[in-house]
Amino acid sequence: MKKIFITGGAGFIGSALIQQLEKKAYEIFVMDNLSFGNRSFINVPEARFFKADIREPNVITGILKSVQPDTVIHLAAIHFIPYCNQHPFEASDINIRGTMNILDAVKKIDSVKKLFFASTAAVYPIADTAVRETHELLPLDIYGLSKHTGERLCNEFHKETGIPTIICRFFNAFGPNETNPHLIPEIQAQINNGIRKIRLGNLTPKRDFIHTYDMALAIEMLLEKFEHGIDVFNLGRGIEYAVTEVVEAFEKHLEEKVEIEIDPQKVRKVERMHLLADITKIKDFTGWVPRITLEEGIKTLISQKPTING
């Protein structure tokens, strides 16, 4: 049975991915410091769960030596942009040095045949149309910069080891088990608390929201198909949604009117108006197609308890 080792596996996307991979014949191992993730999100047995920090190189090497995984999926990071902007040293320490530690530890064992790195749409500059993987890279903030560096580190790692390496640029994920106060859980939390006049930040930006179950399937298909070299894939839904459309999806399922009030405290000073993925490459390579619409995904969030830590 193939062994898959997932850093940050107890998080939002990790928990959806594990649910998907559990359907196949994989043995799943998780390393997470549970700073944002939650042990209860995943069914992985204690013997295969390591509560550890990616800033601890010796600990990581010890764990990887004991597991001897075939595939390493590196999801662990901090990524809520306002938090990263307020804590730039912590963000770069975890996202850059932590990534270096994982890559270095992988180099010390022979078992790994594939590496997957979770990057982000935040590596792209502001653009008014859908971005392809070949678009120039120009991160706007410390988070995007840290992930851009992570991509560069993966390139160096691949050059040195020849291990097949997938860099996947995630767009805006939504679904169950959200861990960070992003837009959709923010609306979800207020609505599920019975509020019908919700307070939000910027209303005009549009985002490419993709359900974590669709992401999980795409990642699994990428892992199955990808055999050689290093390559980059966008992972989004390929559709842009405005904040008002998200609220309308909630309204539709609630069958109630929801008013929006601008909360100046929540308005971000630097904001992209658009963030849309061109997903032709991943679709052509894997045969994957996203299936869950924003409306369907939102339906499952109504009446679900918010899961954000702290």
Q: Can you tell me the distance from the alpha carbon of 261 to that of 248, in angstroms, rounded to the nearest whole number? A: 14
Q: Give the whole-angstrom CA distance, residue 203 versus residue 221.
A: 34
Of 35 and 254, which CB lies nearer to ligand NAD in the complex structure?
A: 35
Shortest spacing between CB 84 and ligand NAD, in angstroms: 9
Nearer to ligand NAD, 12 or 26 (CB): 12
If you count DSSP H runs as helices and E runs as strands, how many of each does the chain have, helices first? Answer: 11, 13
Q: In whole angstroms, how close is the CB of 33 to ligand NAD at the nearest point?
A: 4
Taking the complex as a whole, the smallest distance from the CB of residue 95 to ligand NAD amounts, in Å, to 7
Chain positions contacting ligand NAD, by CB under 6 A? 8, 10-14, 32-37, 53-55, 75-79, 94, 98, 118, 120, 170, 172-173, 179-180
Q: How far is Cα 86 from Cα 72, in angstroms, rounded to an integer? A: 30
Least Å distance, CB 118 to ligand NAD, is: 4
Residue 229: phi and psi, rounded to 5, are: 75, -155
**Shortest approach of ligand NAD to residue 32 CB, angstroms?**
5
CA 262 from centre of chain: 27
Give, in order, the Cα–Cα distances in Å from 306 to each of 38, 152, 175.
12, 35, 11
Contact 278/130 with Cβ under 8 angstroms? yes
**CB nearer to ligand NAD: pick between 61 and 256:** 61
Q: Are strands 230-235 and 259-262 parallel, antiparallel or unpaired?
A: unpaired
User: Residue 28 Cβ, how far from ligand NAD at the closest point, in Å?
Assistant: 14
Closest CB to ligand NAD among residues 6, 191 = 6
User: Rounded to an integer, what distance in angstroms lies between the CA atom of residue 150 and that of residue 109?
Assistant: 20
| Complex with ligand NAD: residue 70 or 176, whichever CB lies closer | 176
Nearer to ligand NAD, 201 or 254 (CB): 201
Bridge partners, 169 (sequence order): 119, 234
Q: Which amino acid would we find at residue 36?
A: F
